[in-house]
Amino acid sequence: MTNIVLFGKPGAGKGTQADFLKIKYNLFHISTGDLFRFNISNKTSLGNLAKAYIDNGDLVPDKVTIEMLKECVEANFKSEGFIFDGFPRTISQAKVLDQFLQKKKISISAMISLEVDEEILIKRLIDRGKISGRTDDMDESKVRNRFREYNMKTSILQDYYKKQNKFHRISGIGSIEKINSRLTRLIDSFL
Ligand code: ADP
């Protein structure tokens, strides 16, 4: 199984690139952000619980996110591998993911970081908010809070995967197709 963690700040293009990679490598794409938004629009109890955190640009508590992630992996275990997009976002999520995959006799193949400067990202997110209507994209103070959360809790995951020799970075600036081919070149080098 090929299991890729796509990593990067909010707006770095993880979802866009995951849509390409899942077809190219026949992987199942799990986006925790999309799962939360699906639950929010369907007004499930999980959605109701997550909504306030997401609207403020805060991370949803680990316990809730981890449960949701595990269920999604279990339900799609027959696939050839996974793209994890937006998960893990904290050290404890990364540890749980490793243990969970180990029990299932699989592991993370690589973590790929899409790197884009913060000022470019803030502009991308505010522009996206005008089109998508995502509440967490519409207000600059919430967007900045997401970056704070990322810098405090998520960016440290680079070291976690570096220690396992699984960390890779590519530039997330340029056309979507250019970034597609940077990713393909990298993934083909370790497949
Ligand atoms: P982006 O990467 O653009 O910030 P996502 O769609 O991945 O957006 O996530 C949107 C929001 O969903 C996050 O700001 C956070 O509140 C919540 N969320 C998504 N994934 C996680 C996670 N792994 N742990 C905690 N909260 C999460």
**Ligand 1 pocket mutation pick from 56, 89, 125, 147 by most atoms within 8 angstroms of CB:** 89
**Ligand 1 pocket mutation pick from 14, 31, 32 by most atoms within 8 angstroms of CB:** 32
Query: Helix 45-56 crosses helix 140-149 at what angle (to 10 degrees)?
Result: 100
Question: Does the beta carbon of 89 lie inside 6 Å of ligand 1?
Answer: yes
- On the question of pLDDT at 134 being above 90, the answer is no
Give the per-residue pLDDT at 90: 98
- The mean pLDDT of the chain is 96
Structural domain including 17 reads 2-190
Closest ligand 1 atom to residue 137 Cα is 3
28-35 average pLDDT score: 98
Model confidence pLDDT, tens digit, residues 89-123: 999 999 999 999 999 999 999 999 999 999 999 99
Domains in the chain, number: 1
The CATH number linked to 48 is 3.40.50.300
